[in-house]
Amino acid sequence: MSGCKTCQTNEDGKVAGCKNNGGCLTGGCNKLNVFDWLSNMSSPLSEDFNVVEVRFKNGKKDFFKNDQLLDLVTGDSVIVDVPNGHHLGHISLQGELVRLQMQKKKVEDDDKIRKIYRVASPKDLEKFDQVQKREEPALFRTRQIIGELKLAMKLSDVEFQADNTKATFFYSADERVDFRDLIKVLASEFRIRVEMRQISLRQEASRLGGIGSCGRELCCSTWLTDFKSVSTAAARYQNLSLNPSKLSGQCGRLKCCLNYELENYLEALKDIPKLEGPLQTKKGAAKLQKTDIFRKIMWFGYDTENSWYPVSCVRVKEILNLNRKGIFPETLEANEGSNGAKKMAAINRELERMDKKYGKKNHRFKKKPRKSSSNNDS
């Protein structure tokens, strides 16, 4: 198996760098990889499913038929049939799991599925390596040409076909771009058939990869395949600050991870009472400051004070019912049961302890005053 760009394969066939034989954890070798958990199990069917899943550059995958019944192993390099030529890819999945993937992606097992020609030979791998070396210079040169033609588009990646007859240029743009002149220049300069493919900003981030604010590789470049729409309502439900710099990902759009825990928040919010205004007490109007959704605690504060008071959702509902009847309780904490009072006291003690812990100034690294350098006369 060949390695990625950060851990290239040596002449001996061994992968340098991570030394994990192409299965590195950096996302370069196994981007959008899957685990074949049926690989060591015999199939109960009389015939194995003859369609396999093949992975190409940057996690792109497609299905191909193994009509010749080649003895394939996950990770093998194969030559497959593509429009107007052939391409080189790697086996990512085979067997009954491919049938499930096809059902999930609604792909029919018919004559439209192209076939696998053969297992890639060392000569094929050598030629493919030479073709890949053309991609980076072509990327930089194409960006220069785009600047000269003053086209409002952003070129993100270039992929050459293994037979060196076609190149696909991936770009993103806000508006429709007339790139007919660009195709003519590229075809004459690189002596190759050119295909321009527009991708979204999320797909661009998926192809390029990167590290997110969480410290991990981007979800879209490692395991996420379907991009669902993300709205600012997801941040509001989770009580997150509507700060674009914190809510936006590498693609400039809202982070996909805002949807991961949204269902749990929506379920927990069913027990949180909705307020149309401040709570009315004899002490004054208490305005909502923040809500602890999972602990079912709402914090209120008076305009005349700087302190916030934690109130359980059950108690808030009681006060709302009293206010509708025109009754104002003495304070927010009034009529709380003994368990509720103990709970609120424990919360206040916890907050006070945290304030004392992080409110203290750290004197360990405080610079000591320099001693006078003057020498005393004896």
Give residue-wise pLDDT tens across range 151-208.
Answer: 999 999 999 999 888 999 999 998 888 888 999 999 999 999 999 999 888 888 888 8
How much is the average pLDDT of 266-274? 90
Residue 157 resides in a domain:
no
> Which is more confident, 91 or 346?
91
Specify the number of domains making up the chain: 2
Residue 94 resides in a domain:
yes
Percent of the chain with pLDDT over 90: 25
Is residue 334 pLDDT above 80, yes or no? no
Percent of the chain with pLDDT over 70: 77
Q: How far apart are CA 130 and CA 161, in angstroms?
A: 11
Residue 311 resides in a domain:
yes
How much is the average pLDDT of 123-149? 92
Is residue 287 pLDDT above 50, yes or no? yes
Query: pLDDT tens for residues 93-110?
Result: 888 888 888 888 888 888
> Which is more confident, 193 or 224?
193
Is residue 144 pLDDT above 90, yes or no? yes
Return the structure tokens found at 128. 């493919």
Domain boundary among 120, 145, 166: 120
Question: What separation, in Å, do the N-terminal and C-terminal C-alpha atoms of the chain show?
Answer: 81
Is residue 26 pLDDT above 50, yes or no? no
Is residue 374 pLDDT above 80, yes or no? no
- Residue 310, amino acid: P
Q: Which helix (H) or strand (E) holds 315?
A: helix 313-324
DSSP assignment string, 120-154? PPHHHHHHHHHHHTTHHHHHHHHHHHHHHHT-S-E
Q: Which residues, including other chains, have CB under 8 Å from residue 17's CB and lie 6 or more apart?
A: 3, 6, 7, 8, 24
Domain boundary among 120, 147, 177: 120
**What was the pLDDT predicted at 182?**
92
**What was the pLDDT predicted at 193?**
92
173 close to 197: Cβ distance less than 8 angstroms: no
**What was the pLDDT predicted at 92?**
87
Residue 284 resides in a domain:
yes
pLDDT-derived band of residue 2, with 50, 70 and 90 as boundaries?
very low
How much is the average pLDDT of 114-129? 91
DSSP assignment string, 252-295? SSBPGGGGTSHHHHHHHGGGSPP-SSPEEETTEEEEEEEEETTT
Residue 282 resides in a domain:
yes
**How many residues does this entry show for the chain?**
378
Domain boundary among 69, 89, 120: 120
Is residue 123 pLDDT above 90, yes or no? yes
Residue 187 resides in a domain:
no
Is residue 373 pLDDT above 70, yes or no? no
Is residue 15 pLDDT above 60, yes or no? no
Q: How far apart are CA 305 and CA 209, in angstroms?
A: 49
Give the range of the structural domain holding residue 53, as residue numbers without chain letter.
31-120
**What was the pLDDT predicted at 208?**
83
Q: How far apart are CA 320 and CA 325, in angstroms?
A: 9
**What was the pLDDT predicted at 141?**
93
**What was the pLDDT predicted at 346?**
67
Residue 170 resides in a domain:
no
**What was the pLDDT predicted at 25?**
45
Residue 25 resides in a domain:
no
- Of 28-42, 129-143, 177-191, the poorest mean pLDDT is in 28-42
